[in-house]
Structure 1
Amino acid sequence: MKTTIIVSAIAAIFLGATGAATAAEPGDKVKISIEKWRKPGSNNIGTADITVTNDNDFAVKDIRVKCDYMSKTGGRKIETEQKLTLKVKPKTTKLFKKTKFPFIDTEAAEGACKVISAAQA
């Protein structure tokens, strides 16, 4: 019993000192929504109007976004991941128009995009 308490106390001190157990990543407080898709040209890169909300107390940049869609016909999974080299001030929401994005035909697929990481600016 005594050994268990000591090990637990040491673990709590170590994790608290390093912040590993409680520290949130900057991307945890960043949200993205796709407002409008535009069909791509010959390179299959489309553009999208996106809204990014940063609820952090600091600015963020280099936002990594992952989109997961399922095609309506055939049930095929479509995945894209992209780093957006955008900067968003703390506690703000910003609209970015015509952001280059791998195109997903939203009429032929259902799904969404989410932030998977961001860096503190």
Structure 2
Amino acid sequence: MKSGFGRIGLGGIVGNGEEPPRSQPATRVWLKRGVLWLLAAGVAGSAVWLSMPPSEVNAAQAEPVQLAAASVDPASPTSASDTSAAEAAGLERMRISSQTWHRGGLGSKALVTFTVRNDNDYAVKDVEIVCAFTRRDGSHLTDRSRVLADVVGMKSRKTFARVSVGFVNVNADQAKCSLVTARRV
């Protein structure tokens, strides 16, 4: 004997043992959930990164850096070993006439564009520059140096475009580059 409850309809809630139809495929649902979790993790990671104090600041770096200029008197006698090597050039007649910088490499590298002016009566090579990076308030962050192997001709100037001087702090806002040494060709 049957009770006959099988014929009682429950309306649109449940069909005949079927699951309700989905509006989207299961892979699309899981993909949306994965993207939402990834976005939440990115926001949380960014919040932690921004709340961390800068790691490069200490008492030693807070002091301004004094740059030394090396030069050799051309009238001084040289030994036999010094004649084969290039002499150090006088920096008093060399300068950086213009400079700009911007970030590259996902914002972590400094790319400097500058023009070296050589007013000497001889060409120079292996020009070394040092760039000091500061915060917006003027406090010192870090120094980076680079040796440029190119030759700057006598009484001429040469522009070096987008020279990577290294990694810089994310708080760096200004850069000031100076010539340190150069070798006479």
Question: Hey, what's the Cα distance between the residues in 1 that align with 2:164 and 2:174?
Answer: 20
Partner residue of 1:18 out of 52, 76, 79: 76
- Unpaired runs of at least 5, structure 2: 1-74, 78-87
Query: What is the aligned residue count?
Result: 100
2:68 equivalent in structure 1: none
Name the residue aligned to 2:5: none
Written as runs of structure 1 = structure 2, the 5 A alignment for 1:1-121 is: 18=76, 25-41=89-105, 44-72=108-136, 75-102=139-166, 108-121=172-185
Give the letter for the 2:111 counterpart. T
Query: Would the alpha carbon gap of residues 74 and 52 (structure 1) be closer, same or farther in structure 2, given more than 3 Å must change?
Result: closer
> Greater helix percent: which structure?
2
Task: List alignment gaps of at least 5 residues for structure 1.
Answer: 1-16
The normalised TM-score by structure 2 is 0.44
Distance across 2 between alignment mates of 1:80 and 1:109: 14
TM-score using structure 1 length: 0.63
Q: Is the 8 A contact 2:125 2:183 kept in 1?
A: yes
Contact 1:59/1:87 (8 A) holds in 2: yes
Q: Higher mean Cα deviation, 107-116 or 84-93? A: 107-116
The answer on whether the counterparts of 1:67 and 1:112 sit within 8 Å (CA) in structure 2 is yes
* Residue identity matched to 1:61: K
Residue 90 of structure 1 and its aligned partner are, at CA, apart by 0.4
The structure in which a higher percent of residues are strand is 1
**Which of these two proteins has the greater Rg computed from alpha carbons?**
2
Q: Tell me which of the two structures has the higher relative contact order, counting C-alpha pairs closer than 8 angstroms and 6 or more residues apart.
A: 1
CA distance in 2, matches of 1:111, 1:99: 13
Cα RMSD for the two superposed structures: 3.1
**Which moves more between the two structures, 40-49 or 62-71?**
40-49
Q: What is the one-letter code of the residue matched to 1:88?
A: V
Q: Following TM superposition, by how much is the alpha carbon of 1:67 offset from its aligned partner in structure 2, in angstroms?
A: 1.6
